[in-house]
Structure 1
Amino acid sequence: MPVARNRQISLIDTPYYHCVSRCVRRAFLCGKDKLTGKDYEHRRQWVEDRLLILSTIFCIDVCAFAVMSNHTHIVLHVNKQKALAMSDLEVIKRWQHLHKASLLAQQFSQNPNKILNHIEQKTLSTTVEIYRQRLFDISWFMRELNEPIARQANKEDECTGHFWEGRFKSQALLDEQTLAACMVYVDLNPIRANIEKSLETSRHTSIKMRIQFKNNGGQPESLMPFSSNQLQPNFVSLPFSFTDYNALINYTMSLRKPETCLSGICKPPLLFRLKVDDLSWMRTSLHFEEIYNIAAGTHQSLQKYKLHTNRKRLIGVKSA
């Protein structure tokens, strides 16, 4: 039976999650349909655009993504503290980018200085709290990503029914090793599927976007930034630099080649810091979904996650 989402998301253990959504009806609904010859490639841009817009509304950062022909991979970071620190007015304004707010919330956003009576204030506080909780809820994030795309695709196909599978897959990333491995796994999806040949040409991936911005001396605002000396203190960022991550992902690409001689390749500094050997790294970064189910991490972190989510067993504990 499917596991309830509130038993998969445990912010006590980690704010990082890998989410996967897959198409139904027929494969290549976002690519080229081999049966009819019709090209649906433009739908991949729909998904990417919607994803990056949502990252500016929700208190959820996009760490990595890859929009494939019939599925999407996204690595998300839940910034709960940011949501809790926002003012009521900011919460309402963000929610109004997605849905029409309640009448009282609309009136408050138009005139924040208006004096409310006790009942109105209590009602408004309850409503704002609901909106606030949704703004750092992964299920709401994925719903706001997938539902508009499904409606748009159904309208284009002149049909009704499901576009995506009923539930997206979620994997908790419990430590720095699995976060790095999952991000590399996601960014290399098009290359691993032999759709693209290089990182620079991998369309609809976060790594291509990051490389383009890096070449211009910056980082994309719609993606969670890598650690950097240029960031302000207390600014939330990924726990490694882009230089280290870029070296790691290029090293992982070289491991895929049968003719590669490991002795002749310089091991990236990040792999030393993560304390992972080559064989374990190759297996994890290239077969991430096959190894882990709803959580990925060290044996110790998986045991803690199992306790906090009240589960009897976890797939992947022996592989940790």
Structure 2
Amino acid sequence: MARTKRSELFTADEIAVVHVMNRVVRRCFLIGVDPASGRNFDHRKRWIEDELEKSAANFGIDLIAFSLLSNHMHLILRSRPDVVATWNDLEVSRRWLMLCPIRKDAHGKAAEPSEAELNAIRLNPDKVSEIRSRLSNISWWMRLMCQRIAQRANREDGMEGHFWQSRFRGVRLIDEQAILAAAAYVDLNPIRAELAETIEASDFTSVQRRIRSLPQEGRPAVAENPPLEHTAVEPEPSGPADAVDSPELPFSKASKSSPTPTATPVHACLRTSAPNRYLAPVQIDEQGDAIGALPSHGKDRCSDKGFASMSAVDYLELLDWTARKIAPGKRGMTPTDAPPVLERIGMKPTAWCQLVKHFGVLFRLVAGRPHHVDAFRSRLRSGPFYLPNKTRELLAG
């Protein structure tokens, strides 16, 4: 069966949110602990995190969520051609040369481009136009990142050939429910795989970075019992930075029962060294946010636009509640009351948990409410995209 062209799902000249997954060859554990040989390749996850940070700082693409496991990775990316359009030709040239440097410094990092290097691009209108398009192209993000990780890993192993199994898989997310469910699916990957017991203990994930960016007093309490040590194979996906977004009550178990909540000081929420500084903010305020592209005021990410109609605190609480529901063997009392945010976005608790737990098999190419998927059309064909009956039944009503 022919593979669907990516241009049917998303293109560089439109704002698109995409769930991306890529796997190493032969389902080996080349970016984690290999149970067969006992070798630990976790340091390669740090390579990927470094590439994610560099890409987020220079591409016109928002990094919404990520999780890195031992044999595959998940990302949620949002292309932002509207932000790229606000950059002049000099900025476009500079960003490209930071991604694909001509020279490197003593530490192997991209050296600040010279005027001659910048002029070689910005004085060539055709080249500037091509690079401007690349900077909001998710395929180019994945191409550069995966190529560099593969070359580095092959050098380390003294090997040649493919490191990644095939081209990455991309699922277009077309409504808020799909984006939120996909983000939760990605952030809770280690818990579903029984590699972590809590979201704060989920290493190499965006949710752990968001938690670590909260003020110390607002962080979730760490479980008294240490995470279980597992050697089980991670489940196979099936199927074909900021600081707290608003000065709200910090996320913690104690804060839920506190009779007089205390607001998080604004200055504590604006630390430029926050571990999640290159991630897209959680909250999108349709009434309070400025209209337009909203380019980032900092240098670590593309824009300051959020992705959900809830605060970072509410998002973390939703993840914590969901983790307890989809991992019933997890220590601790399972909460009975669903977070009010589910009602606000029109999701039943049972449907939400099933959506997060099985997102990878419920959607193939396009994810969203059935009526949204049925109405979605690609630029290359007029027919609707297929949505499994079990997905329709789950999201009915």
Taking structure 1 as the reference length, the TM-score comes to 0.87
Task: List alignment gaps of at least 5 residues for structure 2.
Answer: 103-113, 217-267, 295-304, 393-397
**Equivalent residue number for residue 279 of structure 1:** 350
Classify 1:95/1:40 alpha carbon distance in 2 versus 1 (closer, same or farther; 3 Å).
Answer: same
Q: Which residues in structure 2 correspond to 1:244-263 (within 5 Å)?
A: 244-258=314-328
1:226 paired to 2:297: no
1:31-81 CA deviation, whole Å, 9 max, x = no partner?
A: 122222221111111111111110001010110000100000001111110
Aligned to 1:187: 187
| C-alpha contact (below 8 Å) 2:69/2:190 kept by paired residues | yes
Aligned residue for 1:97, secondary structure, equals helix
Go from structure 1 to structure 2 and tell me whether the alpha carbon gap of 1:309 and 1:278 turns closer, same or farther (over 3 Å shift): farther
**What is the identity, as a one-letter code, of the residue corresponding to 2:88?**
S
Query: CA separation of 1:173/1:96 partners in 2, compared to 1, >3 Å: closer, same or farther?
Result: same
Change (3 A) 1:26 1:184: closer
Q: Which residue of 2 aligns with 1:205?
A: 205
Alignment match, 2:6: 5
- Of 236, 241, 245, 2:311 maps to 241
Shift of 1:279: 1.9
Q: Within 5 A, what are the aligned runs for 1:149-164? A: 149-164=149-164
Residue 290 in 1 paired to residue 361 in 2? yes
Distance 1:259 1:47, change over 3 A: closer
Identity over aligned residues, as a percent? 30
Shift of 1:306: 3.0
Look up the equivalent residue of 1:285 and give its one-letter code: V
**Superposition RMSD in Å:** 2.7
Check the 8 A contact 2:362/2:388 in 1, yes or no.
no
Change (3 A) 1:135 1:20: same
C-alpha distance 232-264 of structure 1, shift in aligned 2 (>3 A): closer
Query: In the alignment, which residue of structure 2 is the partner of 1:131?
Result: 131
Relative contact order (C-alpha < 8 Å, sep 6+): which is higher? 1
C-alpha distance in structure 1 between counterparts of 2:6 and 2:318, whole Å: 32
How many residues in Structure 1 have an aligned counterpart in Structure 2?
Answer: 306
Match of residue 49 from structure 1: 50
Alpha-carbon contact 1:67-1:205 (below 8 Å) kept = yes
TM-score by length of 2: 0.71
List gaps (5 residues or longer) in structure 1.
113-119
More helix by share: 1
What secondary structure, in the 3-state scheme, does the structure 1 residue paired with 2:166 have? coil
- For residue 116 of structure 2, what is the aligned residue in structure 1? 107
**Which structure 1 residue ranges, 4+ long, deviate > 4 Å from structure 2?**
10-14, 257-260
Partner of 2:31: helix, strand, or coil? coil
Contact map agreement 2:192 2:327 (CA 8 A) in 1: no
